[in-house]
């Protein structure tokens, strides 16, 4: 999109590194997340000696990859050549709609999907790699009870179609945040991710809503668990050239996934203040980082889950202003329309 606003929600400080789990399935999943990355590649170093991950790593190539895996693929993580060609064809058609609007000088629905002409589709059947079937884990009974706490204009089923206050909208409706891990998942636009580094810190800068995740990597102690934020509090450390980021201290007010991510669960899945996320940024070449994120929240999830995908460097990618007007107009329009429709139904005796 050509207009975007800066909503600076910079998370400072962090939390103590979470202790290792004894869950054997978790250990196996971590092994899967790291598998296949031992290429012998050695990342360049910053002037102060850390592995150098600096650059712009947009994830536009993932917009044709569903969050959950279509059932026909079973446990297969990669597309065949024929399946990949079909996926690339769909991506090309999407780009063609965008470019046709440029040529005609008439903007339409084609511009809801940002052009990705410089990228190829990912060869993935889904972003989810664990559970092995690529399906989002079932919610616990407590998780099912909490679903109704995350109303959203993205899902009228979840809100019941009733919008009467700002509490009936999620944080993205109100341009506050996409939260985590949604902020690290692709969308139709604003897919820029930039990594900046300074001595003792890594900053993960996001184009969507212009948030900046500040990750200390200097071994400092964590903050009290009473300090909670929308994006949580992070601590990072290096395993060889791989940056590992562990994040806790979430405020529990943001769903874990968003229906804006193609193939995600229909509703925002609930989260609690006990949610924990572990990310790995593993450089495998000058132009690729293998990224994974594992999410644990036993109170609401019957299993942890893991997303994994390649991040591709694009030095030409530019961040534009994130002009989010939904909180200025859409929230009020939803409320007025909802109240009007309910009044009309009451007058007609429905």
Closest CA to 297 of 255, 346, 342, 240: 255
Query: Is the pLDDT at 59 greater than 80, yes or no?
Result: yes
What pTM does this model have? 0.83
Per-residue pLDDT at 33: 45
Bigger pLDDT: 240 or 325?
240
Q: How far apart are CA 215 and CA 138, in angstroms?
A: 31
Predicted confidence (pLDDT) per residue in 42-58, tens digit = 999 999 999 999 999 99
pLDDT class of 152 with cuts at 50, 70, 90: confident
Mean pLDDT of the 104-112 span: 72
Per-residue pLDDT at 160: 65
Provide the residue ranges of all domains of the chain, joining segments of one domain with +: 24-59+137-347
Q: How far apart are CA 40 and CA 172, in angstroms?
A: 41
Per-residue pLDDT at 126: 94
Torsional sign, CA 244, 119, 38, 129: positive
Query: Is the pLDDT at 326 greater than 70, yes or no?
Result: no
Query: Cβ neighbours of residue 259 under 8 Å, at least 6 residues apart?
Result: 152, 154, 155, 265, 266, 267, 268
Q: How far apart are CA 165 and CA 159, in angstroms?
A: 12
pLDDT class of 87 with cuts at 50, 70, 90: confident
Q: How far apart are CA 168 and CA 151, in angstroms?
A: 5
Per-residue pLDDT at 293: 97
């Amino acid at each position: 999109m050509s207009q975007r606003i800066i909503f600076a929600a910079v998370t400072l400080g962090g939390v103590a590194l979470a202790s290792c789990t004894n869950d054997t399935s978790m250990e196996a999943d971590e092994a899967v997340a790291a598998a296949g990355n031992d290429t012998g590649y050695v990342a360049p170093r910053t002037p102060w000696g850390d592995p150098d991950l600096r650059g712009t790593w947009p994830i536009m190539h993932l917009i044709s990859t569903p969050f959950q895996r279509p059932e026909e693929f079973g446990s297969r993580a990669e597309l065949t050549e024929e399946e990949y060609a079909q996926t690339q064809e769909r991506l090309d058609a999407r780009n063609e709609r965008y470019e046709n609007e440029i040529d005609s000088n008439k903007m339409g629905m084609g511009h809801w999907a940002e052009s990705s002409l410089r990228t190829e589709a990912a060869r993935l059947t889904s972003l989810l790699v664990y559970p092995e079937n690529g399906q989002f884990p079932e919610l616990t009974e407590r998780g099912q009870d909490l679903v109704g706490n995350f109303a959203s204009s993205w899902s009228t089923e979840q809100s019941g179609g009733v919008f009467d206050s700002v509490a009936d909208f999620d944080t993205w409706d109100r341009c506050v945040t996409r939260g985590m891990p949604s902020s690290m998942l692709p969308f139709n636009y604003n897919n820029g991710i930039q990594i900046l580094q300074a001595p003792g810190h890594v900053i993960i800068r996001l184009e969507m809503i212009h948030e900046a995740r500040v990750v200390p990597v200097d071994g400092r102690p964590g903050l009290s668990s009473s300090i909670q934020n929308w994006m949580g509090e992070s601590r990072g450390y290096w395993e060889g050239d791989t940056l590992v980021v562990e994040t806790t201290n979430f405020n529990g007010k943001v769903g874990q996934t968003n229906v804006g991510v193609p193939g995600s669960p229909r509703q925002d899945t609930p989260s609690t203040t006990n949610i924990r996320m572990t990310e790995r940024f593993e450089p495998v070449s000058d132009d690729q980082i293998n990224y994974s994120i594992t999410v644990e929240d036993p109170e609401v999830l019957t299993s942890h889950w893991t997303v994994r995908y390649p991040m591709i460097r694009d030095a030409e990618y530019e961040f534009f202003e994130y002009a989010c007007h939904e909180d200025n107009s859409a929230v009020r329009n939803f409320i007025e329309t909802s109240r009007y429709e309910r009044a009309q139904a009451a007058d007609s005796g429905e």
